[in-house]
Amino acid sequence: MLDFVKVWYEKKEGRKETVITVKPKFIVNSRTKDLMVKGGDFYAVWNEKSSLWSTNEQDVSDQVDDMLRELADKLLVKDNEKLAVTWMWDADSGAIDRWHKFVQKQMRDNFVQLDQKVIFANTDVKREDYASKRLPYAIEEGSKDAYEEIISTLYDPEEREKIEWAIGAIISGDAKNIQKFEVLYGDKGTGKGTILDIIDWLFKGYTATFSAKDLGSASNAFALESFKDAPLVAIQGDGDLSRIEDNTKINMIVSHEKMSVNAKYTKIYTTQFNAFLFMGTNKPVKITDAKSGILRRLIDVHPSGRKIPYRKYHQLKNQVKFELGAIAYHCLEVYKELGEDYYEDFVLDLKYEFDRSTEPFAKEYIAEHPSWDSESMEGDNPDAWMILEVATFGTLSKMYKNLKSQLPERAAIANDFGLYSTKELSSWLEAISVLRNIIAHHSRLWNRSLAKQVTNPKGHRDKWLQNPLTENQKKKPYGVISAMIYLCNAVYPDNQIKDKLLALIDNCPNIPYFKYGFVGDWRKEPIWR
């Protein structure tokens, strides 16, 4: 039963017969749970049968007519009585005219933006989810071999991670809190179009295409037309992003600010967009207004330069369409491990951590410097040794990763830990940080495959492992824990971490530790002896 309409009947006695008329009566209800009005017109109605909201106004007519029919069927009509129904479908009845007047003149805007949560085929839906659609596939763990070959060929691990993190953020629902957008660079054939296609398939019905050039034009009154249905994903294919006159609109969309929307055939209304923007271009984005903050919101994704043979490429791409559920599941796991703030400006992270520190020297510095501002790059900033003293491991990991590869200092840091490769140290630090976050949030570690994996170091078999990590062990906690012990040994050879871990394992002998990657004669390995 719809809470904004009541069905009733009245009797009118005539000379020969009595007419019983079943009618709908629309009720002004500011607290209605079944009807939403937007821009002074119908927006959506709740459909109990489908457990979804509908933006098709015909569904109002159908549901009201069902209510009329139900009441008419219950009435006991005598021989001298005639039953008449004021059907919504009957234009001559006047019911549809009264409905339009009711919505446009008597109801006020009360809408909640629909479809701001991704609904899969296996998602349980409530009215409060405000969903009007479902994706045709279920999100679940499974095979994604074609996707793996495509993504690992076209993008190196760090670049691939950016894409999967963004997809996972959208699936989780956190994208509305993240002020980032991604730009995929590369010439034709380097992979950006392929990835944008996969993203479009993953979120079919939740996507929109847009023109960054239109958004960047101050004179385009209908620049937000593409966003009128509040998509969760907005995609621009190949385009020239070097000619953006005004980045105000783009910045407001990315930062999820309230905006006035001027769409054709609709009254101007105010809303906030939760869309995550993906752009493809062969030219760098040219931002002239540094004050907008859009530069720190940009995540650039660069291709590897590797290509897939033409015929095989099309075979793989067609197969990907059958792997969407597994891809979505994987990306969500990547996002969960990396976290919402993974691509935030690490310098601001450092300042935030310094600001909340309980260390006396940090508190003293802040008290003595009134220009200190933890939320911007402006004002007084402490010396590096002070701010690094209170930095978290995750922030330090990102800091090292962001050092330019050609800097001699980056190699020097790796060498201090006895590693010949900066990529080895970077991957180790990231993997340890992810493992730490999983534990800190009391998430499942047992039988878990980790998105961030460690690599076997070159040399140092006497200090590492005689038998290199298998592909399975790289995915499991065993590999990360071994790397952690290696680094701790390099910093402080007399540490007790290994002994404590072994004692913990010995005290819990019934746990199948092979699920963590502890297999074979791992106790005989140099690092565990």
Given a contact cutoff of 8 angstroms between Cβ atoms, the answer to whether 241 and 215 are in contact is no
Residue 220 has pLDDT above 80, yes or no: no
Q: Which residues are paired to 209 by β-bridges? A: 235
DSSP 384-417: HHHHHHT--HHHHHHHHHHS-TT-HHHHHHHHHT
Above pLDDT 90, what percent of the chain?
48
- The reply to whether 235 falls in a domain is yes
Q: Are residues 102 and 172 in the same domain?
A: no
What pLDDT is stored for residue 290 in this prediction?
45
- The reply to whether 42 falls in a domain is yes
- The reply to whether 484 falls in a domain is yes
CATH of the domain at 195: 3.40.50
pLDDT band of 287, cuts 50, 70, 90: low
- 3 state DSSP class of 318: helix
Q: Are residues 387 and 403 in the same domain?
A: no
Q: Are residues 412 and 505 in the same domain?
A: yes
Average pLDDT rounded to a whole number, residues 235-252: 75
Chain centre distance of CA 41: 31
Rounded-to-integer distance, Cα 492 and Cα 502, Å: 18
What pLDDT is stored for residue 119 in this prediction?
97
- The reply to whether 96 falls in a domain is yes
Query: How many domains, in total, are found in the chain?
Result: 4
Q: Are residues 149 and 208 in the same domain?
A: yes
Rounded-to-integer distance, Cα 323 and Cα 147, Å: 8
Q: Are residues 190 and 331 in the same domain?
A: yes
User: Left (φ > 0), alpha (ψ -120 to 50) or beta: where does 486 sit?
Assistant: alpha
Q: Are residues 208 and 231 in the same domain?
A: yes
15 or 288, greater pLDDT: 15
**What pTM was estimated for this model as a whole?**
0.67
Rounded-to-integer distance, Cα 109 and Cα 372, Å: 44
Q: Are residues 333 and 368 in the same domain?
A: no
- The reply to whether 494 falls in a domain is yes
**Residue pLDDT, tens place only, 110-155:** 999 899 999 999 999 999 999 999 999 999 999 999 999 999 999 9
Q: How far is CA 500 from CA 477, 495, 505, in A?
A: 16, 10, 9
Range of the domain at 413: 393-528
Instruction: Name residues whose C-beta falls within 8 Å of residue 57's C-beta, 6 or more positions apart in sequence.
Output: 42, 45
